[in-house]
Every structure is written in C-alpha cells, then in structure tokens.
Amino acid sequence: MNDPRPLALVTGASRGIGAAVARALAPTHDLLLGGRDAAALEKLAAELPGSRPWAVELTDPEATAAAVQGIDRLDVLVHSAGVGMLGTIAETPPETWRRQFDVNVVAVAELTRLLLPALRATGGDVVLVNSGSGLAARAGWGSYAASKFALRAFGDALRAEEPALRVISVHPGRVDTDMQRGVVAHEGGEYDGARFLRPESVAAAVLAGVTASPDAHLTEIVVRPRADLRG
C-alpha cells in the first residue's frame, strides 16, 4: 500500500491568501481547510481532492481544542487567518487592539500549542503569514503592525524552542484580497487589484518554504509587489 500523503492544515482557507495556499498544496498534500464560512469551505473542498473543511472560530479556545481532536500527525500548519483593522493610535479603541491581537497572535499561538505534538511527530513546518507591517510600522497601521511584530516574535521564539520544526515567516506586501479592499476603502482610494500581489504569488512563496530541501530552513520570506505594478 502507498504511504499516505502528507497532511496540511491551512487557516483562512475560505478566501484570499489561504485559499491560494490550499490550492498550491493540494496536488501534494491532504488538506484541512480552516475558516468560518462553511459554504465557502465546502465549495473549495469539492474542488480539491484529498481536502475537507475544518470550520472553527479560532478565537474560541474550546472550539479550537475540540477541532484538533484526532490530529495526531501534521506535516504543515499554515496560519493565514487574520484581520486588518486600521486607524491611527489616536482613534483606535481598546476593543480593536484586543480583537486584532486575539485573531492575529493569540489564536495562532494557541492553535500551534495544541498541534505541537502532531507537528513534532513529523518534524513539520509552521508557516506564519505575516506582513510587511511585521517589519516596519507606519502611521495609521499601529495596532495591525503591533500584532504582526508580535507574530514575528512568536515565530522567532518557536523556532528557537522547537529545533525539529521549521518556522517560516512570510511577509507579503499588499495582496489583491478582500482584506486589501477593506484597506483601500479605509484609505479612500479607487480599488485596482492589478497593482497588488496576486494571492497565488504569496502561495508560491509559502510553497518555496515548505518544499525547501530538508537541510534548508527559509526562516523569513519577504514578497513585495514589483515596483512597476504600483503605477
């Protein structure tokens, strides 16, 4: 009998970057498709053989703990679920800080913690979809950037503590997704998705990290839109 294919869990797979990562991994991996939109996950699962929906609200620790039951071996964990809530420090209330950190940091830490035994069992890969905002903070992006700086610190600590795992932080610039539509609406400009990275281009960077030869560890991957796309 053939060995089973490696298993990947991709959060945020219902749309955007996570959906593109799921499509990129599907030819080689069985997949658990994370998100909350059950209909979108069912639709993607029908398209990708070897995949199934894994619907959970990741800020609910009990629901997350229940959802990981039975995952004893995991080869790849991609954290793409996230929120991007913008505003200056002057206009950002505590509930925005808390929500942004809850989704972008605490939920990532808890899901990783729960899955560590399964990841250790394979010597697996943890991919953190971070952001350019995890490398430099700009005016109007304070709480989002702070959450992504925290996510980078989480990744650095995890890499140091779990040498058998590979921990890959991917830092994309602006990507053509629903989140970016919200950003542009906030900024008050016209949306032109062609000026941004395609989700598939970020997925290709994730794939590069996961398929790197076993002796190689791509710890940080920075992906910017080409300058001549910016107009």
Q: Categorise residue 169: left if φ over 0, alpha if ψ from -120 to 50, beta otherwise.
A: beta
Segments of 56-124 assigned E as strands:
76-79
- Closest distance between ligand NAP and the C-beta of residue 3, in Å? 30
Q: Which two tokens stand for residue 157?
A: 């600590």
Instruction: Please identify, using beta-carbon distances, which residue of 92 and 180 lies nearer to ligand NAP.
Output: 180
CA distances from 149 to 116, 167, 168, 180, 213 (A): 22, 15, 14, 19, 28
Residues 11 and 58: beta-carbon distance below 8 Å:
yes
124: contact with ligand NAP by CB under 6 A? no
Instruction: Please identify, using beta-carbon distances, which residue of 121 and 222 lies nearer to ligand NAP.
Output: 222
| Residue of 5, 36, 52, 224 that binds ligand NAP (CB under 6 A) | 36
The active-site residue out of 54, 144, 154, 196 is 144
The question of whether 191 is a catalytic residue gets the answer no
Instruction: Please identify, using beta-carbon distances, which residue of 84 and 155 lies nearer to ligand NAP.
Output: 84
- Closest distance between ligand NAP and the C-beta of residue 163, in Å? 25
Q: Which of 83, 39, 36, 45 has its CA nearest to residue 63?
A: 36
State which amino acid sits at residue 223.
V
14: contact with ligand NAP by CB under 6 A? yes
146: contact with ligand NAP by CB under 6 A? no
Q: Which positions ≥6 away from 44 have C-beta within 8 Å?
A: 13, 14, 19, 22, 33, 51, 53
What is the 8-class DSSP label of residue 141?
B
Helix or strand (DSSP H, E) at 43: helix 38-47
23: contact with ligand NAP by CB under 6 A? no
- Closest distance between ligand NAP and the C-beta of residue 2, in Å? 31
What is the contact mask toward ligand NAP in residues 151 to 180, using x (rule: CB under 6 A)? ---------------------x-xx-xxxx
187: contact with ligand NAP by CB under 6 A? no
83: contact with ligand NAP by CB under 6 A? yes
Catalytic residues: 144
> For binding to ligand NAP (CB under 6 A), which residues are involved?
11-12, 14-18, 35-37, 40, 57-59, 80-84, 103, 129, 131, 172, 174-175, 177-180
